[in-house]
Amino acid sequence: MANMVPFTWERLTAVVCAGYVAVWAAVGTVSAADQNPAAVRDPAKYIGLTVCNTCHKTAKVGNQVGKWQTGPHSRSFEVLGTPEAKAVAAKLGIADPQASGKCLKCHSTAYNWTEQIQTTMIKPEEGVVCESCHGPAQNYVPKTTQELTLEKPSPGFVEFLNPFTRSAKACYNIITMEDRQKAIRAGLVYPAFKSCTRCHNDQSPTWKPDRYVSKEGKHVGFDLRQNFVKIAHPMPLPK
């Protein structure tokens, strides 16, 4: 946990809910950042969508989870149940793409790019979640936050009886660029588009080498610029 710092709005990039950082601060040894798209990511270090949702669901920090929910990655498991996906699977001798590791290795983070489920922290039906792109988060979550306190007035009698409001101080977590660098060293994949070609490549049965026309006028199978805008979820600039 970082040192306590005084509260100033200028320092605040994103105010998010308190609590989870202390849980993860005591976790294992720090792993090297996954800079190589071909590198194996440790499935034992997945923490799951529920924890991501704890801090990244509010508009103040950019509602990244909400944007994920409306994007294609959240529907990647669902897509496998469509007639189109079943037709593609049938050509490969796969009866049910939603039950096949050959499909789920890219359509579900739970499979971690293998043909078998690798973690119970993520459900197959959740599709491609945050950690597919940003890397298993167990080690880097404690590095993304800095603690500060806000002094609160003494509680009244009713508040005093409520254990959830008795504290004289409110603890918040903020995300700062300095801490992001610590998170990268601890395993955060950033920029996250380093992860895209793990699945968006010519090994996909639906790959078309001329699907996109790049900014340079070349016909390519995958174009980062065009696809990134579909899933963009930036944090808002500090006010």
* Nearest-5° Cα angle at 85, 194 to 215: 40
Separation between Cα atoms, residue 180 and residue 188, nearest integer Å = 8
- How far, CA to CA in Å, does 15 sit from each of 87, 105, 192? 46, 35, 22
Residue 169, pLDDT score: 41
Quickly count: other Cβ atoms within 10 Å of residue 16's Cβ.
21
Asked if residue 4 is part of any domain, the answer here is no
pLDDT in tens, 52-71: 998 899 888 899 999 999 99
Cα 202 from chain centroid? 24
Quickly count: other Cβ atoms within 10 Å of residue 119's Cβ.
19
Asked if residue 217 is part of any domain, the answer here is yes
- How far, CA to CA in Å, does 50 sit from each of 53, 54, 55, 160? 5, 6, 9, 30
Looking at the predicted structure, is the pLDDT value of residue 77 above 60? yes
Three-state SS for the chain is CCCCECCCHHHCCCEECCCHHHHHHCCCCCCCCCCCCCCCCCHHHCCCHHHHHHHCCCHHHCCHHHHHHCCCHHHHHHHCCCHHHHHHHHHCCCCCHHHCHHHHHHHCHHHCCCCCCCCCCCCHHHCCCHHHHHCCCCCCHHHCCEEEEEECCCCCHHHHHCCCCCCCEEEEEECCHHHHHHHHHCCCCCCHHHHHHHCCCCCCCCCCCCCEECCCCCEECCCHHHHHHHHCCCCCCCC
180: its two tokens: 């992001």
Asked if residue 197 is part of any domain, the answer here is yes
Asked if residue 1 is part of any domain, the answer here is no
Cα 68 from chain centroid? 9
Give the β-pairing of 15-16 and 146-151: unpaired
Asked if residue 154 is part of any domain, the answer here is yes
Structure-model confidence comparison of residues 13 and 134, the more confident one? 134
Looking at the predicted structure, is the pLDDT value of residue 123 above 60? yes
Looking at the predicted structure, is the pLDDT value of residue 132 above 90? yes
Average pLDDT, the chain: 78
146 bridge partner residues? 174
Asked if residue 184 is part of any domain, the answer here is yes
Asked if residue 36 is part of any domain, the answer here is yes
Separation between Cα atoms, residue 48 and residue 122, nearest integer Å = 5
Residue 45, pLDDT score: 95
pLDDT in tens, 155-196: 554 444 444 444 444 444 555 656 888 888 888 998 888 899
- The whole-model pTM stands at 0.72
Asked if residue 3 is part of any domain, the answer here is no
Number of domains observed in the structure of the chain = 1
Query: Whole domain around residue 225: which residue ranges?
Result: 9-231
Residue from 86, 85, 114 nearest 102 by CA: 114
Average confidence (pLDDT) over 65-90 = 97
